[in-house]
Chain A
Amino acid sequence: MKALWFHLMPYPELPEGFREDHRSVWVDIDPSLYDPAVGHRAYHDYLDELEHAAACGFDGICVNEHHSNAYGLMPSPNLMASALARSTDDAAIVVMGNSLALYNPPIRVAEEMAMIDGLSGGRLVAGFPVGTPMDTCFAYGMNPATLRERYHEAHDLVMQAWTADEPFAFNGTYTKLRYVNPWPRPMQDPHPPIWIPGGGSVETWEWCAEMDYVYSYLSYFGYKAGQATMKGFWDRMAALGREPNPFQAGFIQFVGVADTEAEARRLYREPAEYFFNRCLHLYPPFADPPGYRTEATVRAGVEGMVKQAADRAKAASGSSKPGASAGLSFDEMVDRGYVVIGTPTTVAEQLTEVATSLNVGNLMLLCQFGNMDRDLAMFNTDLVARKVLPEIRGLFTDEWEHRWWIKPMAADQRRSTTRTEVAR
C-alpha cells in the first residue's frame, strides 16, 4: 500500500454565513473575500504541512490545480511542487495534476514537469486531469464540446515530447509546432509515472485501463459512494484482459485521528463542516456545462463528482440562493463515510476496508481539510503516520508489483537539498 498525503489548500477564512450569502465557492466567488495576508499564511502553513507529511514517512505528497475558487488555492500546482522538490528528500511528489487542455502550448507541461522531475531527482508522479468544468469551461473559457479532444491531443504531444529521441513537428488540431524539443528532459526513463485523476466519467476509467495508467478516483463522498465507479474501472480492466493490480488505482479519503473517538469527533467536526458546507458550496450550473460530459456518460446516467457535490450542497440547503440553511451535518458526513474519523485502530480498520473493498493500492489521505489549522493538521498527520500507516502498509505488497511508482536517482547520487545556514 502506498500512503499519500494530499493537500487541496483551501482558503481557510470563508465567512460564517458564506453559503447563505454567496451562491458559489467557484467561478464567480466574491473577490473581496480574499485577504492576501490570509493567503500568505495559508501557503506557508500548507507547505509546512506537506513537508511534515514527507518527514513523517508518507510515501508521497500531492498537490493539484484549480482556478477562480476558494476550494483550493493552487492555480499552479507546479509552483508548490517545485518548492517541495527542494524541501523534501524521498517522498514522491504527486502533481494531480496539470489540466492539459489549459496550457497553450501544452508543451509547457512537458517542460515544467521535467523541471520538477529533475529538481527532485526523479520523484515526480505526473497527473493529467481533464479538469473540473468550473476550472476549464468557466474560469478558463474552454469550449466544453472540444475540451476532451483538446486534452487528448495535449496528452499525445506531452508523451511524444518526453519519449522522442529527436526534435519533431507536431501538427495537431489545436496545437501546431514546427519544432518540439523540450529541455530539460525528465529524469525518469522513459517518463514519470502517469496517474489520471477522475471524477466519474466513463471515458476516463476506460482510457486509463487502455493506456495502462493509474486511475485515481477523487471522490468527496467516501468509499461507500465510490464502489460503483471503481467497479466500473475494474470491470473495464477485466474486459480488456488486464490484471486487477490494486496499484493501478487510487482513491482519496478524508481522515481524522485522535486518541479517543469522542476527541476525534470534537477535533474534526468544524474542519469537516467547513469543507463540505463552504468549500463545496457549488452553484450547480457551473458543474455541468453542455458538452463537458460525453454522450456515453450522459447515456449511462453518470454525473461527475463536482455535479454531485453541487447537487448535494443544494439539496442539503434546499436552495443555493441567499437565505439557505445550514447544510450537511457532521454526523451525516461520518455515517456516510465521507470522512473517516476515530482512533488509530478504528481508522486503520476503516482504511483497510476502503482499500480492499475498492481494490486500491494508492490511498490519498486528506489529513488537512477545510479550515483545519496547522497545529491540528500536524497532529493528525503525525498520528496517522505513527499509528495508522504501519497497520495498512503491508496491504497488497506481497501479491502485486507497483509498476506505476517513481524511480528516483540513488540517494547517494542526489544533490543534497540541505540548505546552507545563513548567519544572522
Chain B
Amino acid sequence: MTDPTSVVERRVVATSGGGTVTVFELGSGPILGVLHGTAGLDGPTAAMEDLAADHRVIAPCLPGFGSTPDEPSLRSIHDWVVALSEISDAAGITGAPWLASSISAMLALELAAIRPEAFASLVAVGPTGLWDADDPGTDLYAVSLGEQASLLAQNTSTLGVLAGDPDGLDGDELIEVGVSRYIRRRTAASLVWPLPDHGLAGRLHRVSAPVTLVWGADDRLVPPSYGERFAGLLPEATLAAPIAGAAHLAELDAPAEVAAIVRLRAPAGA
C-alpha cells in the first residue's frame, strides 16, 4: 500500500488577480496551510511530510521563491498582502490553520490584520516585521553567501539544499540553479530591505486568531527576544520555548519539533 504522505500533487493555480502560483499538496486529513520561509520552496520539506501523516498539507510557493516565477509588480508590502490573500483563496487554505516561517509569517500576520478570517490559527516561525534598534540581529545581506546559509539553517543536510551544488547537473543547469537562488534571495531581501519594519507593530492588535510563536534558539537574524515583542502586541499569542539546535528557519532545522508544535495548535482530530 502506498504511503499517502509520499504522494505529492504539484499543481498550478490561477489567482483572481490574474497570476499563477505553484502549489504542493500531500497527505490526508484536515487542511493545513504551509507558507515557506526565506529559502523558498522546491517541493515538500521534512516538516510538511511529517504533518502530512494526519493533515492535507497545502503549500503554495510565493512568487519569486523557486517554484513560482518572479512577479516584478509586487513592490510594496501592500502588493504582497493582496497577493497572499488571492493565493490563499486560490490554493484553498483560507480559514485553515497555517504554519508560516520568516517573511511568510510576517505576510500572514499582515494579511490577518486586514482579513481576520485568513487563518484559523497560525504557528509563526521566526517572523520578521518588527525592529528593535537595541537588538537588531545580524544583517543577512552584509555577510558572505556561505554565512547567509548558515544563518538561515545550521543542519548540514539543510545547508546542502540551500547552498550546495545539486548532483547530476551540467553547466547550464547549474547556472539556472544559481539564478533561481539569486532570484529568491532578491525577493526575500526586497521584503525586509533596508529594515523589516513596515508598520506591522501598529496592526498586530487586529489579528484575532490565535498565534503560536516559535523560534530557533540559535536564530541570529531575528533574535528569540523578538518573541516577547510579538507576544506583547498580539491579542492571543503563545510563545513556545525556543528550539535548541535550530537557526532562523527552524522548520528546516528541526522539522519534528515544529510539526509537534503545529499538532498542539492544529490537532488533526479537532
Contact = CB atoms under 8 A, between A and B. Distances in A.
Contacts of A145: 75, 186-187, 189-190, 193
A138 B142 CA distance: 9
Given A145-B190, A285-B141, 12 more contacts: A137-B193, A138-B142, A141-B193, A145-B189, A285-B142, A289-B189, A289-B193, A290-B189, A291-B186, A295-B179, A295-B182, A298-B179
A289 B144 CA distance: 10
A283 B144 CA distance: 9
Contacts, number: 56
Interface in B147-181: 175, 178-179
B90 interface: no
Interface residues of A, number: 22
A69 to B, nearest CB: 15
A104 interface: no
Contacts of A192: none
B194 interface: yes
A144 B186 contact: yes
Interface in A126-150: 137-138, 141-146, 149
Nearest to B186: A291
A286 interface: yes
B143 interface: yes
A149 B76 CA distance: 14
B143 A146 contact: no
Interface string A265-297: 000000000000000000111100111010100
B203 interface: no
A66 B43 CA distance: 43
B193 A295 contact: no
B193 to A, nearest CB: 5
Nearest to B142: A285
A144 B142 contact: no
Interface in B200-251: none
Most central of B72, B75, B186 by chain A CB within 10 Å: B186
A48 to B, nearest CB: 38
B8 interface: no
Contacts of B75: 145-146, 173
B179 A290 contact: no
Contacts of B186: 144-145, 290-291
Given A285-B141, A285-B143, A289-B141, A144 B179 contact: no
A291 to B, nearest CB: 4
Interface string A22-44: 00000000000000000000000
Contacts of A298: 178-179, 182
A257 to B, nearest CB: 40
